[in-house]
Amino acid sequence: MKHIYPILSASLLFIISGTNAFSQEIPYRPVAIQVFNPFIFNPAIAGSKDFASLDFLFSSLGKSNSELLSYESRITGKAENYSNSPGSPEFTNLGLGAYVFHISDGVRNNTGLNASLAYHIRLDDKALSFLAVGASASVILNSYSGEPDLARPAKKTSYPELGTGIYYYSPQLIAGISAINLLGNPIKPETLGFSHTQVSRQYIFLAGYKIVLSRNLKLLVEPSLTLKYTQGLSNDASSILKPGLKVYAGNFCAGTYFNDFNKASFFIQTNYNILHMGAYFELPFRSAYFRSPLLAELKVGVDISALRAGISRKNHW
């Protein structure tokens, strides 16, 4: 536990610091990124798992669709063996992450390319606790098809983005702080209009703790809390606090993530040999589902490291 106090202190400084920005995060969908691919919000998480994974997420909300393809891996090689299991790979201190996303609402299209690099520092002799630092770089492509009836011309723009983060993880505890969209929006506020997606700096704190309920049944729960501070917004409690809960039972995982307190959310995920699949849904509280768009997101992934090794590792999260 002593390793987590510096992270908590840095987190508070990170969240209360900052400068002016605008109103939206990139990528802001799929929402299930936070559940299935958290390294996208904190590059230090890249490579924190002992396997390489290729994931595809698809999201549908009314007329808006989004897709995200991501890759995450810990680089293997001639390094100190962090595992006592025979035949386990040896890992270096470097983790890699990359993704490409596309968001479209029929008028605007956003496409982003990202690469992340993390360095993992072992904190104990048994290689169970690590502290990682990471950075990421992105290129955002924005395309506006125009609306001639409203005298709005088509326009295309592109701009870079940067992110950074630190992350502590052990078998029971995870905690991290990150900052994304550090460059903000290079487009002047008075010229944003309808042809651009506004971009905000965001500071994100994540903490979670696994509680073992039954080792024989491989049953455990993981409550978590995410704090998102977006500069330029009111940042009331409902927009900052994002609690979540995961329940693991062998190869199956289910839970909830409160991205929006006006909606009930739930997700499921399962591992089957080298495949892992998941789904995330949000249902409105205050209106019938047929009157409001239903958010539905699907995920499918491949454990590439198991595919290469010709082995299947169960309970791989």
**In angstroms, rounded to a whole number, what is the distance separating the alpha carbons of residues 39 and 93?**
16
- Read off the tokens for 53: 């994974």
* 113 C-beta neighbours (distance < 10 Å), count: 13
Residue 303: domain span: 4-309
Decide if 62 is inside a domain: yes
How many domains would you assign to the chain?
1
Bridge-based pairing state of the strands 173-180 and 91-104:
unpaired
- Give which of 307, 220, 311, 303 is closest to 50, Cα–Cα: 303
| pLDDT tens digit at each of 317 positions of the chain | 444 444 444 444 443 333 333 335 567 789 999 999 999 999 999 999 877 899 999 999 888 899 999 999 998 776 455 554 444 557 789 999 999 999 988 778 889 999 999 999 999 988 889 999 999 999 988 888 777 676 677 888 888 999 999 999 999 999 999 999 898 766 554 444 544 556 778 999 999 999 999 999 899 999 999 999 988 766 788 789 999 999 999 999 999 999 888 888 999 999 888 899 999 999 887 665 556 678 899 999 998 875 554 444 555 55
**What pTM value is reported for the model?**
0.82
DSSP-derived letter for residue 298 is: E
Position 317 in a domain = no
Residue 275 lies in a domain: yes
CATH of the domain at 166: 2.40.160.40
